[in-house]
Amino acid sequence: MTQTTEAVVDRYITLVDRAVHEPETLRELGSVFAQEATVQFGEMPPVTGMAGITEFYRRFYSDMADSKHVWTTTVLDDGTIEVRFIAAWRTPDGQLGSQGGIEHVTVDADGLIRELRVLSLESEGA
């Protein structure tokens, strides 16, 4: 795996953090996801295709006033990118939340995310 391939994860996370303040940013998801990509958060049903993925993220971030992720990436032996992340957010009414977890990301030959699976999540509200 090249650093360019891992950079797609950096672009993805930066984009979703921006989308909290700039919802139109979600139109840029096509620059990080393959057209028939699949996203699955834990036990939630998987979402496939750009229209579904865009709507999923629009709904997911619609009740946040601010969001910030920090993360690290490791390329596993099979080429999967493992992402360990921590996210913190604030809702419009001032409540705080945080979550950490592990994602596995596979990338296609064009360097776009083909599959993103959130394997584990730990949440905390404040």
For residue 56, the surrounding DSSP H or E stretch is helix 50-61
CA–CA separation, 92 and 110 (whole Å)? 38
Is the domain 3-125 a CATH 3.50.50.60 member?
no
CA–CA separation, 71 and 9 (whole Å)? 9
Q: What is the mean pLDDT of residues 64-90?
A: 95
Q: So what's the pLDDT on residue 2?
A: 41
The CA-CA-CA angle for residues 86, 92, 93, to 5°, reads: 105
Q: So what's the pLDDT on residue 65?
A: 93
Q: Residue 102 carries which side chain, given as an amino acid letter?
A: I
pLDDT tens digits, 34-53? 999 999 998 899 999 999 99
Domain boundaries of the chain, sorted by first residue: 3-125
Cβ neighbours, 10 Å, residue 105: 22
Q: So what's the pLDDT on residue 124?
A: 53
**Residue 6 — pLDDT band, cuts 50, 70, 90?**
confident
Which pTM does this prediction carry? 0.87
